[in-house]
């Protein structure tokens, strides 16, 4: 039996021999061509250049001699000396690069003639000799000698050029021979490759194609496929193993289907009795299983797509979870979902949790929708708001009477006060005013949370908002010795906001910044565009706030330890947070302890259709 390995060795072995033969022939021809080119470039080229330089130097020496006749003696002598050195250098190069028969004899003749030439040029340029005599020697002795040297140099140049041409012809012949040899080797390789390709198609490719088609059938779920195993080579052995694998897969599929059916039935039965509305969606948003409450309250029936139910907020939560790959709560504006069941009212908070494929694989196979029952929490919040509103309203009447009584006593309309009585009444007046502000803050916070606070949302420029917010504090800052710097420019796009409410936000943030900034410090107001929102920042140069307190600053009644008792009860920043979030923005704080604090809030940018 000839196996696939032997077949591949047989086919590729012949190709390997051809490749080795081609490689050896190529290397030999390349070496020969390299030697021929080396002869052209190395042995003859230097002699050609040297002869050209000797001829050029002689011409310039002659020109220098003529300069001395024309009255430019110094320039002529400089030219003669420089080119005499150039001629000697070129002659030495030629004498050291003798490669052709007869070249050495001619080079020595040039050397002898130049010795005589050099002797005569000294006489021609000797000023002690009369000018007519110098001219006679130039034309009768020097010029013919120069012509003889040039003729000999030209003969040496022609000898080297003729040899270069011969070497070039030889290189061309060798290249043509290599070209023909390579064509023959390539043709032989192509014939062997075609023969091997034809045989390999029957030996290897056809069985592999059949095997690939069978794999595709199994991928489609056809596990009943059986391959032909008549061949005894590796393909036949692989086909037999493939049949065994298919049989094992059929058994495993039957077992897995039984387990999956049991698990699905158990899940469905357990889900039906769960009290909370819960639904599991597949990757396409189709409900796979759900509780009775999820089906009854929100229409999450098995087989229904979440996009078709009609709840946009539910579709948004699911899409956000799929996009981010993490647990997502309801979007802004849908914190609580109200549902009526008969005469009962329920409130739910939807949460979408991605369901991973397995602990080893990170991709998600679906999404679990869980509706937390927050009815009791919502009722407690409503009760708290109602109690706060009632108590605040009930306290305002006696507090107003108390404040009026204190003011009447201080005006001494019903009798004179001694100094101690006046101090006590002043303290009572301050505390009653502080209590009134607390009640106002509680009522304002309650109105905003309940949605009863009117909002006049209009397009307004950030420059105008900052200017109106800063103006009431300029005089107080000057008296305190603190500089307020507004860096907001007019080029920022308009935001959608309630100017009066934002003025309250600036008032709270600026009053806090001025309270904690020492004389000589600075409060900076800035704004920048970020993700279709404008971020306003109020930065001071105070002592900063410890990092463990930053996340609690906007909570109700939270006060950073160490503050004075009259600094407030911790409702100012809570009101800021409610005002900003009611207008679609966010708030936050950051700082480097000891270098000041930065409080910021964002407002949405006005869109073209707003």
Phi, psi of 522 (to 5 degrees): -145, 145
> Distance between CA atoms of 280 and 419, rounded to whole angstroms?
76
Helix (H, G, I), strand (E, B) or coil at 202: helix
Asked if 467 contacts 486 with a C-beta cutoff of 8 angstroms, the reply is yes
Res 463: pLDDT = 92
pLDDT band at 451 (very low <50, low <70, confident <90, very high): low
Select the highest-mean-pLDDT range: 148-157, 246-255, 282-291, 336-345: 148-157
Q: Which residue, 151, 125, 5, is CA-closest to 63? A: 125
pLDDT higher than threshold 90 for residue 181:
no
- DSSP state, 286? B
> Distance between CA atoms of 516 and 348, rounded to whole angstroms?
42
Summarised one tens digit per residue, pLDDT across range 293-329 is 777 777 777 778 877 776 776 777 777 777 777 777 7
Share of the chain above pLDDT 90, in %: 7
pLDDT band at 333 (very low <50, low <70, confident <90, very high): very low
> Please, what CATH class does the domain formed by 381-450 belong to?
mainly alpha
Asked if 278 contacts 298 with a C-beta cutoff of 8 angstroms, the reply is no
> Distance between CA atoms of 278 and 211, rounded to whole angstroms?
46
How many other C-beta atoms lie within 10 A of the C-beta of residue 454?
A: 8
pLDDT higher than threshold 60 for residue 568:
no
Asked if 236 contacts 230 with a C-beta cutoff of 8 angstroms, the reply is yes
Q: Strand 483-486 vs strand 364-373: parallel, antiparallel, or unpaired?
A: unpaired
Q: What average pLDDT does this structure show over 509-513?
A: 88
Q: Which residue, 427, 396, 395, 391, is CA-closest to 409? A: 427
Q: Is 31 exposed, middle or buried (0-12, 13-18, 19+ CB in 10 A)?
A: exposed
Q: Which residue, 120, 126, 127, 125, is CA-closest to 143? A: 120
Pick the CATH number of 458-604 from 3.30.470.10, 3.30.565.10, 3.40.190.10, 3.30.420.40: 3.30.565.10
Summarised one tens digit per residue, pLDDT across range 2-41 is 555 565 666 566 666 777 777 776 777 666 665 555 555 5
CATH topology of domain 274-373: Beta-Lactamase (3.30.450)
Cite the DSSP H helix spans in 128-142: 131-137
Q: What average pLDDT does this structure show over 398-405?
A: 72
Asked if 18 contacts 192 with a C-beta cutoff of 8 angstroms, the reply is yes
Summarised one tens digit per residue, pLDDT across range 109-139 is 888 888 888 888 888 888 888 888 888 888 8
As a CATH number, domain 4-195 is 1.20.120
Summarised one tens digit per residue, pLDDT across range 488-502 is 988 899 999 988 889
> Distance between CA atoms of 311 and 338, rounded to whole angstroms?
12
Res 528: pLDDT = 92
Q: What average pLDDT does this structure show over 96-100?
A: 82
Asked if 298 contacts 311 with a C-beta cutoff of 8 angstroms, the reply is yes
- DSSP state, 330? P
Indicate the average pLDDT of the chain.
Answer: 76
pLDDT higher than threshold 80 for residue 596:
yes
List the chain domain ranges.
4-195, 227-269, 274-373, 381-450, 458-604
Share of the chain above pLDDT 70, in %: 71
Res 562: pLDDT = 54
Strand partners, 603: 534
Summarised one tens digit per residue, pLDDT across range 404-446 is 777 777 777 777 778 887 777 777 776 776 666 666 666 665 6
Asked if 365 contacts 282 with a C-beta cutoff of 8 angstroms, the reply is yes
Number of helices followed by number of strands (H, E) in the chain? 17, 13
């Amino acid at each position: 039996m000839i196996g696939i390995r032997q077949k591949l060795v047989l086919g590729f072995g012949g190709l390997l021999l051809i490749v080795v033969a081609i490689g050896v022939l190529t290397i030999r021809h390349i070496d020969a061509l390299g030697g021929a080119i080396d002869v052209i470039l190395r042995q003859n080229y230097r002699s050609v250049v040297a002869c050209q330089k000797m001829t050029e130097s002689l011409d310039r020496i002659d020109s220098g001699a003529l300069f001395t006749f024309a009255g430019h003696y110094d320039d002529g002598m400089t030219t003669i000396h420089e080119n005499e050195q150039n001629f000697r250098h070129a002659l030495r190069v030629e004498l050291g690069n003798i490669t052709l028969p007869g070249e050495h004899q001619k080079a020595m003749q040039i050397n002898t003639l130049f010795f005589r030439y050099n002797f005569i040029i000294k006489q021609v340029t000797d000023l002690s000799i009369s000018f007519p005599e110098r001219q006679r020697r130039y034309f009768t002795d020097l010029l013919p000698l120069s012509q003889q040297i040039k003729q000999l140099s030209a003969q040496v140049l022609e000898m080297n050029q003729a040899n270069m041409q011969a070497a070039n012809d030889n290189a061309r012949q060798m290249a043509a021979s290599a070209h023909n040899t390579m064509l023959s080797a390539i043709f032989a390789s192509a014939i062997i490759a075609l023969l091997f390709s034809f045989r390999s198609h029957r030996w290897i490719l056809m069985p592999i194609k059949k095997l690939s088609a069978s794999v595709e059938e199994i991928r489609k779920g056809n596990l009943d496929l059986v391959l032909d195993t008549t061949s005894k080579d590796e393909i036949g052995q692989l086909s037999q193993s493939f049949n065994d694998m298919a049989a094992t897969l059929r058994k495993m599929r039957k077992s897995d289907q039984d387990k999956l059916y049991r698990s699905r039935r158990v899940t469905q039965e357990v889900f039906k009795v769960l009290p909370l509305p819960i639904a599991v969606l597949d990757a396409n948003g189709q409900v796979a299983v759900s509780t009775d409450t999820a089906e009854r309250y929100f229409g999450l029936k098995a087989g229904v797509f979440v996009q078709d139910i009609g709840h946009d907020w539910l579709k948004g939560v699911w899409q956000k979870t799929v996009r981010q790959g993490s647990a997502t709560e309801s979007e802004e504006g849908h914190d609580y979902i109200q549902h009526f069941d008969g005469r009962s009212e329920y409130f739910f908070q939807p949460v979408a949790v991605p369901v991973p494929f397995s602990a080893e694989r990170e991709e998600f196979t679906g999404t679990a929708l869980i509706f937390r029952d927050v009815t009791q929490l919502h009722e407690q919040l409503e009760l708290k708001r109602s109690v706060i509103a009632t108590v605040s309203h009930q306290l305002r009447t006696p507090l107003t009477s108390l404040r009026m009584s204190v003011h009447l006593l201080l005006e001494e309309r019903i009798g004179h006060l001694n100094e101690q009585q006046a101090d006590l009444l002043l303290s009572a007046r301050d505390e009653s005013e502080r209590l009134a502000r607390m009640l106002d803050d509680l009522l304002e916070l309650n109105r905003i949370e309940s949605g009863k606070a009117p909002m006049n949302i209009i397009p307004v420029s950030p420059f105008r908002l900052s200017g109106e917010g800063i103006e009431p504090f300029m005089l107080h800052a000057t008296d305190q010795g603190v500089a307020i710097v507004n860096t907001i420019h007019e080029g920022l796009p308009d935001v959608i906001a309630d100017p009066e409410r934002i003025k309250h936000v600036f008032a709270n943030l600026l009053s806090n910044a001025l309270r904690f900034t020492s004389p000589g410090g600075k409060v900076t107001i800035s704004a920048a565009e970020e993700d279709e929102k404008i971020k306003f920042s109020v930065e001071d140069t105070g002592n900063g706030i410890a990092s463990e307190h930053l996340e609690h600053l906007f909570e109700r009644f939270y006060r950073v330890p160490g503050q004075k008792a009259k600094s407030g009860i911790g409702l100012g920043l809570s009101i800021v947070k409610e005002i900003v979030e009611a207008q679609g923005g966010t708030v936050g704080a950051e700082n480097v302890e000891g270098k000041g604090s930065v409080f910021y809030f964002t407002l949405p940018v006005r869109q073209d259709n707003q």
